[in-house]
Amino acid sequence: MEMPLRTVRTNIVQSIRAFRVPDLQEAAQSLGHHFLYANLADAQTKQDVLDMIGQQFKLPAHVGKNFDALYDSMTDPVHKSGPQPGFIAVLEHIPANTKFDKEAREQLLDIFRDTADYWGDRKIPFRCFYSFL
């Protein structure tokens, strides 16, 4: 298999663009990285987005409370569970509507940028790919 991530630096949050989800999943598997996927097509509000990410990423229940809880659950408990090989996360179909506006979308992506920085400081790859609905 050609490595689809060879031109993508580690610890980045970027648009999914030409990548396909199955290729990213296969790349994660071949690298031995965790693959986290959330399809947010049915989300309308911030609470929907948080709930769906928590459920689909299989995060602790408290993650659905706010963006800070999301960040905490993407970093601290995972870090404390031992050495991590790396992560490829996909946020597909982030809503773009009046209930989840541009500011909310940027806040969400900032959480994942901060998460990428957190893991980058620990020399652990964290790539997040996203698309808007």
For the stretch 51-97, pLDDT in tens is: 999 999 988 777 767 999 999 989 876 667 778 899 999 999 999 99
For the whole prediction, is pTM greater than 0.85?
yes
Q: Which of 11, 63, 18 is nearest to 38 (CA)?
A: 63
pLDDT attached to residue 18: 84
Is 12-127 a CATH 3.40.50.300 domain?
no
Instruction: Supply the mean pLDDT for the chain.
Output: 91
Mean pLDDT on 16-41: 94
